[in-house]
Amino acid sequence: MSDCGDSDAGWIFYKDRPDWNDIKPVPEDDGPSPVVVIAHSEKFEDVYDYFRAILQKDEKSQRALELTKDAVELNSANYTVWQYRRELLKELGTDLRSELDYVESVIKISPKNYQVWHHRRVLVEWLQDPSQELDLTGEALLHDPKNYHAWQHRQWAIKSFRLYDKEIEFVDSLLSDDVRNNSAWNQRYFIHNNHTGWSDLNVQKEICYTLEKIKFVKNNESAWNYLRGILLHDKRGLNGNGVVTSFCEELYKNRCRSPFLLAFIIDVCEEAIKKNETNSFHNVERAKELCSALATKYDKIREKYWTYLRDRFEKYVSVNGENSQ
Question: Annotated active-site positions, please?
Answer: 112
* Cα separation, 84 vs 51, whole angstroms: 10
Q: What is the torsion angle, in degrees rounded to the nearest 10, for the CA atoms of residue 1, residue 157, residue 233 and residue 268?
A: -10
* Closest-CA residue to 190 (of 169, 167, 213, 207): 167
* Cα separation, 266 vs 312, whole angstroms: 12
Within 10 angstroms of residue 96's Cβ, the number of other Cβ atoms is: 17
* Cα separation, 284 vs 273, whole angstroms: 7
| Whether 145 contacts 180, CB under 8 Å | no
Amino acid at residue number 213? K
* Cα separation, 178 vs 66, whole angstroms: 42
Q: What are phi and psi of 239, to 5 degrees?
A: -90, 0
End-to-end CA distance of the chain: 63
Q: What are phi and psi of 78, to 5 degrees?
A: -80, 110
* Cα separation, 161 vs 158, whole angstroms: 6
Return all residues near 270 (Cβ < 8 A) that are at least 6 apart: 287, 313
* Cα separation, 183 vs 282, whole angstroms: 32
